[in-house]
RNA sequence: GGAGGGAUGGCUGAGCGGUUGAAAGCACCGGUCUUGAAAACCGGCGUAUCGAGAGGUACCCAGGGUUCGAAUCCCUGUCCCUCCGCCA
């Protein structure tokens, strides 16, 4: 959520900033509601003040009236009238306030000034590349064929068990998948200073509102059908960022850095026909997520560091990648700036997203009421939140399979993963 | 699943239906004292929102209700604790 005060005082500035994101701020509607709100609030509050003052005076007045043997009913009647008038004014105010909240909670975050203009992913800008795509002297296979040949990656069985967009891994591929998770968790916790955290995979709607998935993007989520209204998490970002919902942190606790491995569940509504082959786009996949809570002044630098932490994993695995900055039109709802890291896939002869690292500034924190006490002001102030994949495990697995494949269909295990594979050097 | 108890400011913890936005302690901030620190003493210290300010309003888990008036009474929900049962 944007700062309502800022939206109120500088609607044109905000509207201009949102143009780059392809969002049209309805300044007219906001102004109308705001004028109405101010008027109703003034009215309601003065009535409340009157009602409160009267109620306070009543105790004594009634005692005196009784002592004189007078009728108390007229005194009560006036209180009753005040109560009714107050109630009406409050209802009217609440109604307008709700309309304002509803509208504001649907307005996306404003992008950083450095975010390039553009309508779609075609306008994203590459900012660096690492590694040289390997030159193969044989015809490369994709991970689906490689996995099938090994007999260790099986989409048909997953379809039988559940449906499309699921996978079954067996044996050494399942172990390699697990090895990647361990490797990522260890690297981030031991070398990059993140605390490992394990969280629920189901969350309530308050948590989803806090990180911005609700109310606008419910169709992307799996919702459980019982009366508790839980959802399966689409990313660890949701439970981990909500660790500090409604909390006030001490300055000396900052920065907070969490690394978390979870499965992620996405309905992928609206992506019919996209990436239907293989593990690229699944309803269930695993991810190691990095989440940070920082002081506002540190957020810009933190995004660079966090993106670097994710890139380190690819470097250690020896997988070529490039890093791009998303243009305004491709930027997510809650993000002010996002870097995507894309890994080279030989079977597709192009780079594919494997991590997304974002700075949300105080947009999520305002929804979450996640704050810190600034020693300089002594006041609670909003934190800044950031997160990034470090990395998407399924996509990393297929990148390893494809980039490390041999002519005979076997797969060489990258050096850094061999300790997690009992010293094994190749599969198949 | 059964039976009880509870939810109050950063933390602990008092609160009779009206004078309680809320005692007290801790923590924290400022000051006195001290070479410095500690101790002691004095003062300050919830959050949000409206207002230039004075000040107003809302909030004592959440949502309803009773009442002229609710942190306090009633109902529903959520969460926590204790005991019994069941169970990975």
Cα–Cα distance measured from residue A129 to residue A258, given in angstroms and rounded to the nearest whole number: 27
Distance, Å, A371 CA → B26 C1': 22
Same domain for A33 and A73, yes or no, is: yes
More confident residue, A124 or A53: A124
pLDDT value, residue A137: 96
pLDDT value, residue A167: 96
Q: Does residue A99 have a pLDDT over 90?
A: no
Same domain for A339 and A393, yes or no, is: yes
pLDDT value, residue A90: 85
Distance, Å, A204 CA → B79 C1': 13
Cα–Cα distance measured from residue A347 to residue A383, given in angstroms and rounded to the nearest whole number: 42
Question: Which nucleotide does the CA of A76 lie closest to, via C1'?
Answer: B68
Nearest residue to B45 via alpha carbon and C1': A378
Q: How many independent structural domains does chain A possess?
A: 2
Instruction: Look at residue A18 and tell me if it is in a domain.
Output: no
Alpha helices in A68-170 (DSSP H): 73-105, 143-150, 155-161
Q: In the listed set A57, A79, A105, which residue is the last one of a domain according to the structure?
A: A105
Distance, Å, A246 CA → B73 C1': 30
Comparing CA positions, the residue from A188, A131, A163, A216 lying closest to residue A391 is A188
Which range is least confidently modeled, A46-60, A162-176, A244-258, A293-307?
A46-60
Q: Average pLDDT of A240-245?
A: 91
Strand B close to A54 by CB, under 7 A: yes
Q: What percentage of residues in chain A have a pLDDT greater than 90? A: 63
Q: Does residue A72 have a pLDDT over 80?
A: no
Same domain for A101 and A191, yes or no, is: no
Highest mean pLDDT among A10-14, A93-97, A390-394: A390-394
Domain that holds residue A30: 26-105
Same domain for A49 and A131, yes or no, is: no
Cα–Cα distance measured from residue A238 to residue A407, given in angstroms and rounded to the nearest whole number: 42
Check if the beta carbon of residue A134 is closer than 8 Å to that of residue A345: no
Instruction: Look at residue A406 and tell me if it is in a domain.
Output: yes
Strand B close to A35 by CB, under 7 A: no
Strand B close to A56 by CB, under 7 A: yes
Same domain for A159 and A80, yes or no, is: no
Cα–Cα distance measured from residue A374 to residue A367, given in angstroms and rounded to the nearest whole number: 19
Strand B-proximal residues of A, range 83-112, CB below 7 A, are 83
Instruction: Look at residue A19 and tell me if it is in a domain.
Output: no
pLDDT value, residue A374: 83
pLDDT value, residue A379: 80
pLDDT value, residue A273: 83
Strand B close to A160 by CB, under 7 A: no
More confident residue, A245 or A150: A150
Distance, Å, A244 CA → B12 C1': 22
Peptide bond preceding A253 in cis form (omega within 30 of 0): no
Secondary structure element (H or E) that encloses residue A315, with its range:
helix A299-317
pLDDT tens track for A344-376:
999 999 999 999 999 999 999 998 888 888 887
Tell me the average pLDDT of chain A: 91
| Long-range contacts from A76-84, C-beta under 8 angstroms, 24+ separation | A78/A54, A79/A51, A79/A54, A79/A55, A82/A47, A82/A50, A82/A51, A82/A54, A83/A51
Cα–Cα distance measured from residue A427 to residue A138, given in angstroms and rounded to the nearest whole number: 18
Number of C-beta neighbours around residue A31 at 10 A: 12
Q: Does residue A68 have a pLDDT over 90?
A: no
Check if the beta carbon of residue A305 is closer than 8 Å to that of residue A292: no
N-term to C-term CA, chain A: 51
Distance, Å, A378 CA → B38 C1': 25
pLDDT-derived band of residue A69, with 50, 70 and 90 as boundaries? low
Instruction: Look at residue A420 and tell me if it is in a domain.
Output: yes
Instruction: Look at residue A157 and tell me if it is in a domain.
Output: yes
pLDDT value, residue A54: 84
Question: Which nucleotide does the CA of A366 lie closest to, via C1'?
Answer: B48
Q: Does residue A266 have a pLDDT over 70?
A: yes
Cα–Cα distance measured from residue A355 to residue A342, given in angstroms and rounded to the nearest whole number: 7
pLDDT-derived band of residue A67, with 50, 70 and 90 as boundaries? low
Instruction: Look at residue A112 and tell me if it is in a domain.
Output: no
pLDDT value, residue A248: 84
Q: Average pLDDT of A55-81?
A: 75
Strand B close to A380 by CB, under 7 A: yes
Distances (CA, A) of A336 to A110, A289, A328, A332: 6, 19, 9, 8
Same domain for A38 and A62, yes or no, is: yes
Q: Average pLDDT of A286-300?
A: 95
Distance, Å, A378 CA → B45 C1': 10
Q: What is the CATH number of the domain that holds A341?
A: 3.30.930.10
pLDDT value, residue A115: 95
Tell me, what's the ipTM?
Answer: 0.83
pLDDT tens track for A204-219:
888 998 898 888 888 8
pLDDT value, residue A101: 86
Distance, Å, A67 CA → B80 C1': 48
Instruction: Look at residue A30 and tell me if it is in a domain.
Output: yes
Instruction: Look at residue A10 and tell me if it is in a domain.
Output: no
Strand B close to A70 by CB, under 7 A: no
Same domain for A188 and A50, yes or no, is: no
Cα–Cα distance measured from residue A377 to residue A384, given in angstroms and rounded to the nearest whole number: 17
Same domain for A258 and A170, yes or no, is: yes
The residues of A annotated as belonging to the active site are: 266, 281, 353, 356, 395
Which range is least confidently modeled, A3-12, A167-176, A413-422?
A3-12
Strand B close to A74 by CB, under 7 A: no
Strand B close to A19 by CB, under 7 A: no
pLDDT value, residue A331: 95
Q: Average pLDDT of A101-121?
A: 91
A325 — phi, psi (to 5°)? -105, 130
pLDDT tens track for A312-346:
999 999 999 999 999 999 999 999 999 999 999 99
Using a 7 Å cut-off to protein CB atoms, list the covered nucleotides of chain B: 10, 18-19, 29, 47-51, 56-58, 67-69
Strand B close to A248 by CB, under 7 A: yes
Q: What is the CATH number of the domain that holds A44?
A: 1.10.287.40
Cα–Cα distance measured from residue A358 to residue A351, given in angstroms and rounded to the nearest whole number: 19
Same domain for A78 and A130, yes or no, is: no
Q: Does residue A161 have a pLDDT over 90?
A: yes
Q: In the listed set A71, A105, A139, which residue is the last one of a domain according to the structure?
A: A105
Same domain for A81 and A165, yes or no, is: no
Distance, Å, A227 CA → B1 C1': 19
Strand B close to A62 by CB, under 7 A: yes
Strand B close to A370 by CB, under 7 A: no
Same domain for A93 and A168, yes or no, is: no
Question: Which nucleotide does the CA of A94 lie closest to, via C1'?
Answer: B58
Same domain for A43 and A150, yes or no, is: no
Cα–Cα distance measured from residue A174 to residue A171, given in angstroms and rounded to the nearest whole number: 5
């Amino acid at each position: 959520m944007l700062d309502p005060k800022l939206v109120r005082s500088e609607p044109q500035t905000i509207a201009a900033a949102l143009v780059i994101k392809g969002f049209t701020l309805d300044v007219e509607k906001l102004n109308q509601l705001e004028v109405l709100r101010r008027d109703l609030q003034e009215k309601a509050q003065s009535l409340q003040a009157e009602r409160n003052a009267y109620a306070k005076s009543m105790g004594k007045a009634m005692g005196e009236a009784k002592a004189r043997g007078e009728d108390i009913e007229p005194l009560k009647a006036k209180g009753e009238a005040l109560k009714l008038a107050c109630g009406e004014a409050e209802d009217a105010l609440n109604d307008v306030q709700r309309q304002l909240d509803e509208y504001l909670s649907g307005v996306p975050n404003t992008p950083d000034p450095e975010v390039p203009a553009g309508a779609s992913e075609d306008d994203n800008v590459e900012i660096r590349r690492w590694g040289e795509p390997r030159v193969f002297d044989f015809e490369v296979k994709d991970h689906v064929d490689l996995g099938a040949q090994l007999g260790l990656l099986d989409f048909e069985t997953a379809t039988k068990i559940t449906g499309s967009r699921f996978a079954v891994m067996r044996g050494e591929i399942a172990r390699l998948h697990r090895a990647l998770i361990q490797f990522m968790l260890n690297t981030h916790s031991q070398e990059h200073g993140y605390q490992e955290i394990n969280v629920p995979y189901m969350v309530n709607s308050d948590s989803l509102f806090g990180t911005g998935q609700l109310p606008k993007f419910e169709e992307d989520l799996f919702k459980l059908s019982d009366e508790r209204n839980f959802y399966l998490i689409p990313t660890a970002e949701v439970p981990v960022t909500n660790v500090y919902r409604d909390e006030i942190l001490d300055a000396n606790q900052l920065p907070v850095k969490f690394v978390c491995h979870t499965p992620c569940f996405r309905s992928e509504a609206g992506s019919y026909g996209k990436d239907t082959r293989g593990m690229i786009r699944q309803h269930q996949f695993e991810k190691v997520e990095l989440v940070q809570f920082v002081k506002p002044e540190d957020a810009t630098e933190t995004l660079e560091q966090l993106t670097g932490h994710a890139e380190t994993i690819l470097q250690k695995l020896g997988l070529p990648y490039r890093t791009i900055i998303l243009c305004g039109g491709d930027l997510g709802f809650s993000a002010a700036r996002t870097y995507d890291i894309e890994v080279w896939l030989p079977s597709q002869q192009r780079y594919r997203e494997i991590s997304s690292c974002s700075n949300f500034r105080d947009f999520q924190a305002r929804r979450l009421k996640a704050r810190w006490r600034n020693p300089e002001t002594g006041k609670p102030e909003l934190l800044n939140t950031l997160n990034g994949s470090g990395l998407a495990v399924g996509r990393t697995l297929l990148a390893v399979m494809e980039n490390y494949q041999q002519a005979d269909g076997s797969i060489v295990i990258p050096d850094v993963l061999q300790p997690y594979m009992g010293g094994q050097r190749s599969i198949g």
